[in-house]
Amino acid sequence: MPQREALVIDPGDGAMVLRPSGRAWRKGLAQADAQVQMAEFFKGTRERGNGYAWLSFSGFEFGGMPCWLSVGFHEGLLNMVLLGVGLPGAEEEDGWPTQKAIDNEIAFVRRALGKQLGRTFGHAPEAFPWGTAWSRFDPKGFMASAGVDYRG
């Protein structure tokens, strides 16, 4: 089986870059271009008819673990990327991750973000000239929440 491409966040502009190919999700990337450029990783689309659309991608890794993205577009241009990772041995109850599994995912993503972006990540999002990045608990969804927001 071929090695998965690694997802790396460029600290200069926040682009989510696949290594070694160099393909990337960047602020302002057109939705149609993302679907073509990342076709082998594309899993689906959610559109609500209100100018917002979300594309799902998976099949690469972040920090050495399998990961997936939900890439947000407004009026056809990328403005946010949500990130999830699959950690080995993640515990579930009734098909949902346990609090321990969620905490482990948050901690893992914080460490990976810290290595890639040169910051210490805690509960609050970290601000950059290109936007924000975070990894924290989402109490409303009872899940780990991580990603980059290019709107700021």
> In this structure, which amino acid lies at residue 98?
T
pTM across the whole model? 0.93
Q: How far apart are CA 58 and CA 7, in angstroms?
A: 11
pLDDT computed for residue 95 by the predictor = 85
pLDDT tens, position by position, 85-141: 999 989 989 888 999 999 999 999 999 999 999 999 999 999 999 999 999 999 999
Q: How far apart are CA 67 and CA 65, in angstroms?
A: 6
Q: Average model confidence (pLDDT) for the chain?
A: 94
**Element holding 82 (H helix, E strand):** strand 77-85
Q: How far apart are CA 117 and CA 9, in angstroms?
A: 7
By CB atoms closer than 10 A (0-12, 13-18, 19+), residue 71 is buried
Number of other CB atoms surrounding residue 65 within 10 Å: 16
Q: How far apart are CA 53 and CA 34, in angstroms?
A: 12
pLDDT tens, position by position, 23-54: 999 999 999 999 999 999 999 999 988 999 99
For residue 110, CA distances in Å to 17, 45, 74, 94, 122 come to: 18, 27, 27, 27, 7
Number of other CB atoms surrounding residue 48 within 10 Å: 8
> In this structure, which amino acid lies at residue 69?
L
